[in-house]
Chain A
Amino acid sequence: MKTEIKQKKSNVDLSNLPENDLILRKRRIRRNKINAALRYTILAIVGLFMLYPLVWLIGASFKTNAEIFTSIGFLPSSFDFSGYVRGWNTSTQYTFTTYFANTFKIVIPKVILTVISTTLTAYGFARFKIPGKKYLFSILIATLLLPNVVLRIPQYLMFREFGWLNSYKPLVVPAAFAVDAFFVFMMIQFMRGLPKDLEEAAVIDGCNSFQVLVYILIPMLKPAMISVALFQFMWTMNDFLGPLIYLSSVEKYPVSIALKMSMDASALVNWNQIIAMSVIALIPSLVVFFLAQKHFVDGITTTGMKG
């Protein structure tokens, strides 16, 4: 019955709609409105759960210690910056200036090396005939799923043998060898989607393969390279276990470890300091995310879709 009416409606034009159909149409519009309202309500409630903790964190960083655990609202009764000042200076001889500098000493070279090495590798996979390529590609995919946990001890022993412990080398050097299969895969997928005509034309004009990469492909690859850089930036900023295993002296700690350290040292008294430093620690990631959120979404869907 319902089907019949619906089919009829799609064939009839508005001018001679029977009474019955008009009512149905109104009803449908109203139902759509209710549905939309329901959806927005769900989205708003979920949004509140997603964002309020972050908003609260920012507000709490300006609160006094007493206020943090007594008020639900995010606005402090008066802005207190002492958490930032004392937190930044820490109770140790090093300040967060050192820790941020250390973080960037790891993040910047790692991001650059990752972008270069994954682009080269992806170029090799996507554009050349390589003996045994099928197998190599399967290996690449397998490493995508390989749990890192199984590699950690021998890697540690190897870097210890090299005399690299308590330096940034174990955290940075592997990036030069395209060890993050996820990024290589993302680049390959992106490259496969690019037309080859321009490259072929360039080869006919006498470009060698490296010139083709630099002058033709890289300009087109920029979005993917930016995605790789952004993800690697975030992941390295957030990396905790790597520095925890390899770094032993406080002067070399990045922000992630320093934050955990100040939490252990002051969690019972100086809450606003640790909260203020958490906010500061999130700022670089927040800025990068809001400047380039499109690239994150694009990056994750390129890989996700075709996996």
Chain B
Amino acid sequence: MKLKKHVGILYILPWLIGIIAFTAFPFIASFVLSFTDYNLISSPSFVGLSNYRTMMDTPLFWKSLRTTFIYVFVTVPLKLSFALFIAYILNFKLKGVNFFRTAYYLPSILGGSVAIAVLWRFLFADTGLINMIIGNFGVDPISWLGNPRYAIFTISLLRVWQFGSPMVIFLAALKNIPESLYEAARIDGASKTHIFFKITLPLITPIVFFNFIMQLVQAFQEFNGPYIITGGGPLNSTYLFPLYIYDNSFKYFRMGYGSALSWFLFAIIMVFTLITFKSEKYWVHYDGGDE
């Protein structure tokens, strides 16, 4: 029995090695690197805050940051409200729910692939399917990917289209709400809207919270969509921060500057995650009986 303690460590040993070698060490190393001018060629020398100062003086940095914020704060709320809305409808006992659930989930499963990004490029091309369809209604073609004002929203739409995975999680949460609560409310004469906002929504706030954080962390790191569909253009209008990091790190091999940018993005994600966690007590409702 005494031996058991050590046996447990043995089982988690691979993970333990992994977390040290592939997570903890790189995590610290990138922080240290962010204060150097390492470029793969000459050996790194300490440059203090110079990388961070360069950042502040670079217009592209600000442009990219702004674009990222727009992207995140358009994509995440839209995606989550859509996911919740559809989950809510699917939760009514309708026939064929499984079919719809599968259909809606499919884009999320395939969505990360390059093929879907290719598809998006064709759908939203100047003479693409979307413009052909709106043309039938007499709307002039829109330059979805060519106009700097719309391009970022077209990219955002690609991710909103993949609302399936938060939807599945919401649906499972909705199914967990005991029917008796609804019945009680109905007997009291509550309307559907009332029931939704006073019973359903408060009860699933922990799941909203979970989904929000997961989506937020993901959205801040979006790379494939803009890289493949627009390459960051036109006029850098879809040049999200991860693209800026990638270019500096793996195209120009400015490892020091790239690390500083990575840490900056990391700090932003952390700030938003912390704000969400801190705000938890104001809006997330934990039921004592759960778990």
Contacts and interface: CB of A to CB of B under 8 A. Distances in A.
Interface of A: 2-3, 6-7, 35-36, 39-40, 42-43, 46-47, 49-51, 53-54, 56-57, 60, 68-72, 117, 120-121, 123-125, 127-131, 133, 136, 139-140, 143, 145-158, 174, 176-179, 184, 209, 234-235, 237-241, 244-245, 255-257, 259-260, 263, 267, 271, 274-275, 277-279, 281-282, 285-286, 289, 293, 296-297, 300-301, 304-307
A130 B12 contact: yes
Interface stretch (B89-97, B146-154, B195-203, B280-288): B89-97
Contacts of A139: 19
A130 B26 contact: no
Interface of B: 4-5, 7-12, 14-19, 21-23, 25-27, 29-30, 33, 86, 89-90, 92, 94, 100-107, 109-110, 112-116, 118-119, 121-123, 125, 127-129, 132-133, 136, 161, 165, 168-169, 172-173, 176, 186-189, 207, 210-211, 213-214, 217, 220-221, 223-224, 227-228, 242, 245-246, 249-250, 255, 258-259, 262-263, 265-266, 269, 273, 291
A305 B12 contact: no
A5 to B, nearest CB: 10
Contacts of B10: 124
A159 B44 CA distance: 18
A43 B7 CA distance: 52
Given A43-B90, A301-B168, 4 more contacts: A46-B104, A50-B107, A53-B161, A259-B118
Contacts of A234: 109, 112
Given A128-B7, A130-B8, A177 B273 contact: no
Contacts of A209: 4, 7, 11
17 contacts: A39-B89, A54-B119, A69-B125, A72-B133, A128-B4, A128-B11, A145-B273, A147-B266, A149-B242, A151-B23, A209-B7, A241-B246, A256-B114, A278-B115, A286-B110, A304-B173, A307-B214
A289 B109 contact: yes
A56 B194 CA distance: 40
A103 B119 CA distance: 20
Tell me what chain B mostly uses at the interface: helix, strand, loop, or mixed.
helix
Given A147-B217, A177-B21, A305-B172, A281 B113 contact: yes
B94 A120 contact: no
Contacts, number: 271
A307 B173 CA distance: 12
A285 B86 contact: no
B171 to A, nearest CB: 8
Contact of B94 (A36, A50, A133): A36
Contacts of A125: 12
A253 to B, nearest CB: 11
B5 A128 contact: yes
B228 A43 contact: no
A298 to B, nearest CB: 9
A291 to B, nearest CB: 12
B157 to A, nearest CB: 10
Nearest to A129: B5
B12 A300 contact: no
Contacts of B258: 153
Contacts of B214: 307
Contacts of B26: 150-155, 158
Contacts of B186: 6
A153 B259 contact: yes
A260 B228 contact: yes
A235 B173 CA distance: 25
